[in-house]
A and B are shown apart, each in its own frame.
Chain A
Amino acid sequence: MVADKSKSIRRDVFQAIADPTRRAIIFLLAVGAMTPNAIAEHFNSSRQAVSKHLKVLVECEVVNQEQQGREIHYHLNSDKMKDIEKWLEQFKQLMENRFQQLDKLLENLKKQSK
Chain B
Amino acid sequence: MTPNLQSDFLVDKEKNTITIKREFLANRSLVWDCYTKSELLDQWFAPKPLTTKTKSMDFREGGHWHFAMIEPNGTEYWSRFDYLSITASEKYTALDGFSNADGDINEELPRAKQQLAFTDKGENTLVETVVIYNSLADLETVIQMGMEEGMWATLEKLDELLLKLK
Contacts and interface: CB of A to CB of B under 8 A. Distances in A.
Interface of A: 10, 12-15, 17-18, 84, 87-88, 90-107, 109-110
B25 A107 contact: yes
B34 A105 contact: yes
B64 to A, nearest CB: 20
A48 to B, nearest CB: 25
Nearest to A97: B47
A18 B136 contact: yes
7 closest Cβ pairs, A-B complex = A14-B136, A101-B44, A97-B47, A106-B26, A102-B44, A87-B143, A14-B140
A15 B137 contact: yes
A103 B44 CA distance: 9
A6 to B, nearest CB: 19
Q: Is the interface of A mostly helix, strand, loop or mixed?
A: helix
Per DSSP, chain B at the interface is mixed
Given A88-B18, A106-B26, 13 more contacts: A15-B137, A84-B13, A87-B146, A90-B156, A92-B20, A95-B22, A97-B48, A98-B47, A105-B43, A106-B25, A106-B30, A107-B25, A109-B34
Contact of B2 (A90, A91, A103): A103
Contacts of A98: 44-47
7 contacts: A98-B47, A101-B47, A101-B48, A102-B31, A105-B34, A106-B24, A109-B30
A31 to B, nearest CB: 20
Interface of B: 1-2, 7, 9, 11, 13, 18, 20, 22, 24-26, 30-31, 34, 40, 43-48, 129, 135-137, 139-140, 143, 146, 152, 155-156, 158-159
B155 A94 contact: yes
A99 B47 CA distance: 9
B158 A97 contact: yes
A101 B52 CA distance: 12
